Structure 1
Amino acid sequence: MEIKADVKPISELMKFYFTIPDYQREYVWKAEEHVAQFFEDIENEFSENKPMNEQASYFIGSIIIVRKPDGDYDVIDGQQRLTTIVLTLCAFREYLKNKVDPNTVGTKRLEEIRKKIDELLYSYDLGTGRSKPRLILQYEEAKDYMNCLIEETDFKGDTTNSINKMMEAYEKIFSYIENIDKTYLLDFITYFLIKVEMVVIIPENISSALKIFETINQRGAGLSPMDLLKNLIFKESNQQDFAKVKVVWKEMISNLEKCGEGDKPLRFLRYFLMAKYYNGMLREDEIYKWIISDEGKKAIKYQDNPLQFAEELKESSAYYRDFVKATIADTEDPNYPSLTYIGHIGKSTFRQHIILLLALKNNLRNNKATVELLCKNLEVLVFYYTMTREQTKTFESRFSNWAKELRNIDTLDSLKDFIKTKIGAEVQNKNISFSQVFKTISEFDIRPQYRVKYYFGRIENYIRQMSNLPVHPMSYYKSLQIEHIIPKTPDGGNIPQTFKDKNEYEFYLHLLGNLTLVESNINQALNKVNKITDADWFNGKTREYRKSDIRLTQSIAAIINIGANTAWNNFANKNLFSFTSWGKDEIIKRQELLLALTNQIWKVSV
């Protein structure tokens, strides 16, 4: 493998014409982070009072380029840095042109520096009368913005995320230039041109270039496994497939962006590999190492057909997008309502269940009813995991181990057997310990509040389903208030003598049996019924509970039969209780009622 590698100052980049191919990543550097660090590091190395020949050089990294038949160079690595250098040169040029008085800095020196900057930005052909930019961005997101900037013409196209990043970077750089002491401005620009250096690596062909890119970034503090994987797929692909790979990769990233995961693609990649190929838990920092290992090559077979592997990633990212969107939805997803329930249990960042969904074979995964069957039972398991405070890493490990079996299942009957033997057995085990401790479970055990509302909301909807009444979306229950039947702040601070002390009162106050959901207007009325030492205080509560649309809350006051032998009458009289007084015994009795309903709702079913 023939490789040329030379250290070159920025002033010598005028010897090259660079092209950033359309399959490369668009400009993503953040102005306040990457660009600020880039400029500040250079500024910190510059010594204002030293002659230029005594200034220390500053190394900013490397670029990997490959010579094309027309003599230009494709940039394989370093496009973010190279683009930022060109943005800086353009900012220098504008500032010197519009903000600097030649009489204060010396006309000759100013003209020579401006001439050098122009030469670094473009060349001019006297014969054709045309200029040629030294950096061309071919990726779609750049459009003609960089050309317009280099040629000092107005950009009139639509902006993209990449163009916005370049605009923000340019403004940040310009603001830094404005703050440089004007006495040393030309010295600083000169320092930037002749003392800021980079290694220019020129392999013999693109295959060698991609291999060098992989080696540099894998061994150093380089790119993420996702970027390395993209490079690997290009390296293994035929060059004529590059355009296809680029489109497929872009669609995959777009899918992740559509579900809010564009800035953390490694979670998708990790879950995809654990679902489809890797056996067990795979750490993020081990992803790429495993992919290029003999085991990874044998499992994935990306060397045989890299484009097909990219297509598989894209396809799975579309499912991942749908599964994440259903999980974070406020209202039940029409296809996967149980995923929305999982999101309400675990919080919006909960994703571990998706490992198992991605493991499904396509013939099962393409059937939404089949996916929902698995989701429904996963909701049951996640419910018990959450209620028993199972550590996230424990069930993530379990899901990754189950994925090994699930990825080989190709019939609905086999999936049902999997649900019964794996999820069912785990639920049964967790339910035993859950039932044993439920008598003392309080709101503190299932907080935060959104989870408390989820719990009572699911019970209320179950009551409505069994009674042939319309159910509410889960978002409705988020708007309700959590009502403490014996109040959190009893009027005057007095508590009934049936409680031996304040600690005992606090214990019963927070038990689930003492909680229910009420509408805001009813909650306001209930705030006036807090004199718990009055004999009539509970009647005051029940008068308000009767007005609620929440059947679980209504039933505390009374079970009102509707018609004769209706579904509501049958269910309510069998499963709900009403109360004429309220104290410790009643709270325990309602706690038992909630446990019975819990066991009816959260159970494995196929």
Structure 2
Amino acid sequence: MTATNFSTENRTYRQLLGNGLTYRIPPFQRDYSWGEEEWEDLWLDIQSTLPADGEPAHYMGYLVLQTVDNRVFEVIDGQQRLTTLSLIVLAAMRLLKRLISSGVEAEANQIRLTQLRASYIGYLNPVTLMTQNKLSLNRQNDPYYRDYLVTLTDPLPQRGFPASTLTMRKAFEWFERRLNEYTRTDSDQGRALAQFIETMSDKLFFTVITVADELNAYRVFETLNARGVRLSATDLLKNYLFSVLARGQQATGELEELERRWERLVGRLGSESFPDFLRMHWNSRYSFARQSELFKTIRSRIQSREAVFTLLREMDEDVDTYLALTQPEGSDWPSDWKISARELRLFSVRQPYPMLMAARRRFAEQDFARLLRATVVISFRYNVIGSRHPGEQERLYHEVAKKIHEGTITNVHLALQALYPIYRSDAAFRADFAEKSIKTTQSRNARIVRYILSKLERQVGGIEFDQDSPAYTIEHILPQSPDAGWDAFSDRDIDSFIYRLGNMTMLESSRNKDAANKPFAQKRAIYKDSQFHLTKKLADEEEWTPERLAARQHEMARLASAIWRIDL
């Protein structure tokens, strides 16, 4: 991103609203949505700056703006904060107006009211009596903001308006009450109200990022999201799609249809999950795009009204599959499909999703079920046990997804042949498994170990048990904090062997407490009474040494290669 297309600086709220600058929230940006929790947090933040010995300043976060002339700015991210601050100013102004109407310091308060309007809200046209506002809201909220809040209507109308507009009215009235409570005991309430707004404006500051176009804004979002700042890239794409439709003639009906379908889609996914879904959807049909390239790729392809609605239709086609993969518990998939989806989620493997989305569209149900199960096996061998780099895997999954979408790969047999390069062979898998360590101090890792041990137990003993049940736990044969009696393991060996798969077994929770850190000779009697076949078999061991641990893990690897396998 070149310097001419991107700038950043810190500005106070006063500096933002000065020098004739105006701000517009795009017409189809999301509606006002802050509630009492956010209002309360902001109020407390402002209050902390008011005392003479209070905070010297309060940071309001990033504000992402787009402009072509450095005079008029579109608010890409930050609309909730800017709108709420404007409502606070307007609340103070209506309290001043009431003081004037009551004859309280009428002349001085009129000057204050006029000055606040000019500094933070806009100027009143003397002919039309309409305000040229410094801030314009979206198409749902701006009429109420412009016609009733900015004009300080008292009382405010309540019926016949969108829900978000009523939320905005409630915010205005909430801050009006708080301001009145805060200033009413002052001997000069009008002065106290004006001082409150002036202090707030000087002590609240933003990091303002200004970009020249949507593409640079999207790149900013990617950078900030990588640093843990959550921004609305979803809204940016929405605004772009609306801008494409708005170029045409008589587009009102199409805009409303896009609004309806978009809100339904984002409502099902959640705005935070939408960018991930969009990338999976795109990569299941078109050329591969990383998240950082996605907006640029879509913008280059979606340039007509027809393309906008094709994108919507295709996203609708894929959303059920994405939700079933990521949230299988709420889907209507068959139970065996749900189990496979949960296993992929447990493995934290998402690279196959575009391929699976393409297969769900194109394959018969039986073929899709086989491919889904095969994907679990490949992921277990390649990712969980093999710990292979996912780059090659992601590229291959995308190639297969594209061929399925285009009709080159028409069944599961052809798909599995194409996936052969990332299927770890039995020999390679057994070698990986025989050396595998998984540190169970991390909760996800502990769930994976329970999963592995439960599958092995079913293979050798036919026992089915709830691997997530608190009635069972992972027993480390060589304890994590060994006492006396473990002389076969040096201090260096202890660190190397505790989390080896061969050193772990399932045990009833009550028996695990009995086993604790005891020597192996005492643990054997506890293992003998366990219901688990692999655990009971440990009682046949005369001693527990690095050699016996390695031998057990090799046997487990042999069993695993029979459980997690597909016929390619």
For normalisation by structure 1, the TM-score amounts to: 0.63
Work out whether 1:587 is the aligned partner of 2:542: no
Question: Paired residue for 2:239, among 228, 231, 235?
Answer: 231
Shift of 1:516: 0.3
The one-letter code matched in structure 2 to 1:515 is M
CA contact (8 A) 1:484 1:516 kept: yes
Work out whether 1:322 is the aligned partner of 2:324: yes
Which consecutive unaligned segments of at least 5 residues does structure 1 have? 1-7, 45-58, 65-74, 124-130, 194-212, 558-577
In structure 2, the residue corresponding to 1:292 is in which secondary structure?
helix
Work out whether 1:252 is the aligned partner of 2:265: yes
In structure 1, the residue corresponding to 2:519 is in which secondary structure?
coil
The one-letter code matched in structure 1 to 2:536 is Q
Q: 1:46-65 maps to which residues of 2 (within 5 A)?
A: none
Q: Distance in 2 between matches of 1:369 and 1:151?
A: 66
Q: Distance in 1 between matches of 2:330 and 2:213?
A: 38
CA contact (8 A) 1:20 1:139 kept: no
In structure 1, the residue corresponding to 2:423 is in which secondary structure?
helix
The verdict on how the C-alpha distance between 1:174 and 1:303 changes in structure 2, with shifts beyond 3 A counting, is: same
Work out whether 1:274 is the aligned partner of 2:302: no
Root-mean-square deviation over aligned CA pairs:
5.6
The one-letter code matched in structure 2 to 1:488 is Q
Shift of 1:246: 0.7
Work out whether 1:531 is the aligned partner of 2:524: no
Q: 1:320-469 maps to which residues of 2 (within 5 A)?
A: 320-326=322-328, 335-346=337-348, 350-360=349-359, 362-364=361-363, 369-384=366-381, 385-409=383-407, 413=411, 415-422=412-419, 424-429=420-425, 431-444=426-439, 448-461=442-455, 463-464=457-458
The verdict on how the C-alpha distance between 1:86 and 1:507 changes in structure 2, with shifts beyond 3 A counting, is: closer
Shift of 1:448: 3.6
Q: Distance in 2 between matches of 1:328 and 1:443?
A: 30
Question: Paired residue for 2:536, among 544, 554, 578?
Answer: 554
CA displacement 1:186-226 (0-9 Å, x = unmatched): 37768999xxxxxxxxxxxxxxxxxxx99643345588653
Partner of 1:107: 106
Shift of 1:600: 0.9
Partner of 1:26: 31
CA contact (8 A) 2:26 2:239 kept: no
CA contact (8 A) 2:92 2:179 kept: no
Shift of 1:151: 4.6
CA contact (8 A) 1:320 1:358 kept: yes
Q: Distance in 2 between matches of 1:592 and 1:13?
A: 71
Question: Paired residue for 1:599, among 537, 561, 566?
Answer: 561
Q: Distance in 1 between matches of 2:421 and 2:65?
A: 55
Shift of 1:379: 1.4
Work out whether 1:541 is the aligned partner of 2:526: yes
Q: Distance in 2 between matches of 1:551 and 1:245?
A: 59
CA contact (8 A) 1:336 1:368 kept: no
Work out whether 1:88 is the aligned partner of 2:88: yes
Shift of 1:340: 0.5
Shift of 1:504: 3.4
The verdict on how the C-alpha distance between 1:522 and 1:87 changes in structure 2, with shifts beyond 3 A counting, is: same
Shift of 1:283: 3.1
The verdict on how the C-alpha distance between 1:162 and 1:97 changes in structure 2, with shifts beyond 3 A counting, is: closer
In structure 1, the residue corresponding to 2:505 is in which secondary structure?
strand
Q: Distance in 2 between matches of 1:186 and 1:102?
A: 18
Partner of 1:495: 486
Shift of 1:321: 1.9
The verdict on how the C-alpha distance between 1:308 and 1:440 changes in structure 2, with shifts beyond 3 A counting, is: closer
Structure of greater Rg: 1
In structure 1, the residue corresponding to 2:368 is in which secondary structure?
helix
Shift of 1:342: 1.6
Q: 1:208-223 maps to which residues of 2 (within 5 A)?
A: 216-219=213-216
In structure 2, the residue corresponding to 1:516 is in which secondary structure?
strand
CA contact (8 A) 1:427 1:603 kept: no
For normalisation by structure 2, the TM-score amounts to: 0.67
Q: Distance in 2 between matches of 1:594 and 1:495?
A: 23
Question: Paired residue for 2:476, among 463, 468, 484?
Answer: 484
Shift of 1:417: 1.6
Shift of 1:250: 0.6
CA contact (8 A) 2:354 2:401 kept: yes
Shift of 1:526: 1.4
Which consecutive unaligned segments of at least 5 residues does structure 2 have? 1-15, 51-62, 69-73, 125-129, 202-209, 222-230, 246-250
Partner of 2:11: none
Q: Distance in 1 between matches of 2:198 and 2:21?
A: 14
In structure 2, the residue corresponding to 1:481 is in which secondary structure?
strand
Q: Distance in 2 between matches of 1:554 and 1:100?
A: 87
Shift of 1:538: 4.5
Shift of 1:285: 3.1
Q: Distance in 2 between matches of 1:169 and 1:544?
A: 69
In structure 1, the residue corresponding to 2:327 is in which secondary structure?
helix
CA contact (8 A) 2:76 2:236 kept: no
Work out whether 1:240 is the aligned partner of 2:253: yes
Aligned residues: 492
The one-letter code matched in structure 1 to 2:318 is S
The verdict on how the C-alpha distance between 1:95 and 1:448 changes in structure 2, with shifts beyond 3 A counting, is: same
Shift of 1:337: 1.1
Partner of 2:7: none
Shift of 1:542: 2.6
CA contact (8 A) 1:256 1:265 kept: yes
The verdict on how the C-alpha distance between 1:76 and 1:523 changes in structure 2, with shifts beyond 3 A counting, is: closer
The one-letter code matched in structure 2 to 1:284 is Q
In structure 2, the residue corresponding to 1:360 is in which secondary structure?
helix
Q: Distance in 1 between matches of 2:213 and 2:376?
A: 44
CA displacement 1:158-180 (0-9 Å, x = unmatched): 99789768867986898799699
The verdict on how the C-alpha distance between 1:158 and 1:291 changes in structure 2, with shifts beyond 3 A counting, is: closer
Shift of 1:110: 1.1
Q: 1:175-214 maps to which residues of 2 (within 5 A)?
A: 185-186=193-194
The verdict on how the C-alpha distance between 1:391 and 1:142 changes in structure 2, with shifts beyond 3 A counting, is: farther
CA displacement 1:339-373 (0-9 Å, x = unmatched): 11122223xxx533322222336243xx6554332
Work out whether 1:516 is the aligned partner of 2:505: yes
